[in-house]
């Protein structure tokens, strides 16, 4: 009976579950069952409901572009070869299944459910709200300290919000920034919705600053630069965003210093004293000055360089087959995985995995650029594609210094770019059929 209800409702129920998954995608701090987030479970439910709907259809589409499918196939080949060699083959196999779910099942689900530009734009709105809510969690930490259940409170001034790690907050906000600007500047018919989107965009900026992620800031700046080049009004909107975000940040900092005994500084100082560490709390400027300081309590570059050296040494011995996928196999002697998307893929999955990931991210970037440059498309689709292309560019910058393989909240622009590409292809096909009918009836 339930299956029949889902079929009758077509994709409305799966799409609703998908929207809810996107709305909670940045809240990674809580994992209620089997270490999966609420967002993970909602996406899984959306996938199962979509399968029930498709069971009543004679033909199931796989509208993912060929270059993405080829990239995924090559990555799977490299992952399987490396799993045979891996020290922990079960962990490597599980990681390989995660990759397949991310780039195959999850992306395919998005292309099936999001077939109209309005649905893609709604997904961007939910994504922006999710990033803003996580940033609001960082504001709560700034004001009252370790009051968010789950996870560990940071012992630096880098906030996590409702994510698990301060780097996660930086990744979430840097990739979501340009789409947040796009939905904020979109012509909303309701004033309250426009206000909410601008406030969400301001929070995303503040969250990026609170994370103190240098790579995240560079990634966001790259995306903003691309968006301003492709959007004539981008510079004006960027100025409004910076002023609003700085205002929110300033007000929160004033409020946090006025909350005696409960503010963030008191909590962090307690952590510092318990560790016997007497240095001052790190600020963003301190991180810039201490990037290469090996004696510093929280170095940024040296652990990355160590993982790069070890990865290159392993690749020089066997550049075809990697050491195995996943943290259990990919962790170097420094205790960290390789913080680079391409080098990490090569080190863990071998040459075929590297070639696959290059085809994946390169092919998707080409799709985004083609959407923006296609003059036959309506202006709204081109601007949507430009904002998602800019977000995808931010993702590529993050990949230079962060291990972002499994993080779905970073790969949302990838999914939406493919969904927008498929939507445009479907419309072209329908227009072609309509023109053919017109010719027949003349």
146 and 82 fall within a common domain: no
Q: Do 238 and 199 contact (CB within 8 A), yes or no?
A: no
* Count of domains observed in the chain: 3
20, 123, 208, 279 from 15: Cα distances, Å = 9, 10, 29, 50
Answer yes or no: are the C-beta atoms of 77 and 30 closer than 8 Å.
Answer: no
Instruction: Say whether both 139 and 38 belong to one domain.
Output: no
pLDDT score of 352: 96
DSSP label of 267: H
- Ordered per-residue pLDDT tens for the chain, 442 residues: 445 444 445 788 999 999 999 999 999 888 888 778 899 999 999 999 998 888 877 677 777 888 889 999 999 999 999 999 899 999 999 999 988 998 889 999 999 899 888 899 999 999 999 999 999 988 888 788 777 776 555 555 678 888 888 888 999 999 999 999 888 887 666 777 888 888 998 899 888 888 888 888 889 988 988 888 877 655 555 565 565 556 555 555 555 444 433 333 333 333 444 333 333 334 555 555 555 554 444 456 667 778 888 889 999 999 899 999 998 898 888 778 888 899 999 999 999 999 999 999 999 988 888 888 887 778 888 888 889 999 999 999 999 888 887 788 899 999 999 999 988 876 665 455 444 434 334 4
* Whether residues 156 and 255 fall in one domain: yes
Q: Which of 414, 407, 393 is nearest to 25 (CA)?
A: 407
Tell me, yes or no, whether 159 and 294 share the same domain: yes
Q: What is the pTM of this model?
A: 0.83
Q: Are residues 222 and 266 in the same domain?
A: yes
Q: Are residues 217 and 289 in the same domain?
A: yes
Instruction: Work out the burial of residue 436: count CB atoms within 10 Å of its CB; fewer than 13 is exposed, 13-18 middle, 19 or more buried.
Output: exposed
Residue 312 within any structural domain of the chain: yes
> Does residue 123 sit within a domain?
no
Q: Which domain holds residue 202?
A: 130-299
| Residue after which a domain boundary falls, among 269, 299, 329 | 299
Residues 285 and 143 in one domain: yes
Is the same domain home to 329 and 388? yes
Residue 203 covered by a domain: yes
Which of 283, 299, 315 terminates a domain? The answer is 299
At 64 the pLDDT is 83
Does 122 map to a domain?
Answer: no
Whether 308 and 414 share a structural domain: yes
Q: Residue 116: inside a domain, yes or no?
A: no
156 and 288 in a common domain:
yes
Same structural domain for residues 137 and 266?
yes
Cα–Cα distance for residue pair 220/397, rounded to 1 Å: 9
For residues 407 and 98, the answer to whether their CB atoms sit within 8 Å is no
Q: Report if residue 390 sits inside a domain.
A: yes
């Amino acid at each position: 009976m339930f299956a029949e209800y889902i079929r009758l409702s077509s994709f409305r129920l799966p799409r609703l579950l998908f929207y809810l998954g996107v709305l909670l995608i940045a809240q990674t701090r809580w994992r209620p069952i089997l270490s999966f987030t609420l967002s993970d479970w909602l996406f899984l439910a959306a996938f199962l409901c979509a399968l029930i709907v498709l069971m009543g259809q004679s033909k199931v589409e796989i509208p993912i572009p060929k270059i993405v499918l080829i990239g995924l196939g090559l990555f799977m080949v490299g992952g399987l070869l490396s799993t045979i060699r891996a020290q922990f083959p079960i962990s490597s196999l599980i990681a390989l299944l995660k990759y397949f779910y991310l780039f195959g099942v999850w992306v395919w689900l998005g292309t099936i459910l999001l077939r109209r530009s309005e649905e893609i734009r709604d997904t961007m709105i939910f994504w922006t709200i999710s990033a803003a809510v996580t940033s609001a969690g960082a504001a709560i930490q700034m004001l009252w300290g370790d009051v968010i259940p789950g996870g560990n409170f940071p012992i630096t001034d880098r906030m996590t919000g409702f994510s698990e790690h301060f780097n996660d907050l930086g990744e979430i906000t840097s990739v979501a920034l340009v789409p947040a600007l796009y939905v904020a500047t979109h012509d909303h018919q309701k004033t309250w919705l426009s206000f909410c989107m601008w406030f969400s965009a301001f929070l995303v900026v503040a969250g990026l600053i609170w994370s103190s992620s240098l790579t995240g800031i560079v990634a966001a700046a790259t995306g903003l630069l691309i968006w301003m080049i492709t959007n004539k009004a981008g510079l004006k909107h960027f100025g409004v965003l910076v002023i609003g975000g700085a205002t929110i940040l300033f007000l929160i900092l004033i409020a946090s210093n006025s909350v005696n005994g409960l503010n963030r500084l008191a909590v962090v100082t307690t952590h510092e004293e318990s560790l016997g560490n007497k240095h001052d709390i790190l600020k963003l400027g301190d991180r810039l000055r201490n990037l290469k300081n090996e004696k510093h309590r929280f170095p940024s570059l040296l652990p990355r360089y160590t993982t790069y050296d070890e990865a290159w040494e392993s690749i020089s011995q066997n550049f075809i087959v990697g050491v195995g996928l996943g943290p259990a196999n990919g962790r170097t002697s420094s205790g960290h995985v390789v913080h680079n998307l391409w080098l990490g893929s090569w080190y863990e999955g071998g040459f075929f995995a590297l070639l696959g990931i290059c085809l994946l991210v390169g092919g998707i970037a080409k799709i985004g650029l083609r959407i923006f440059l296609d003059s036959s498309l309506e202006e709204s689709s081109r601007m949507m594609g430009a904002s998602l292309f800019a977000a995808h560019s931010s993702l590529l910058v993050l990949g230079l210094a962060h291990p972002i393989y499994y993080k779905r909240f970073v790969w949302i622009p990838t999914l939406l770019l493919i969904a927008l590409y498929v939507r445009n292809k479907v419309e072209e096909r329908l227009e072609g059929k309509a023109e053919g009918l017109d010719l027949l009836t003349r």
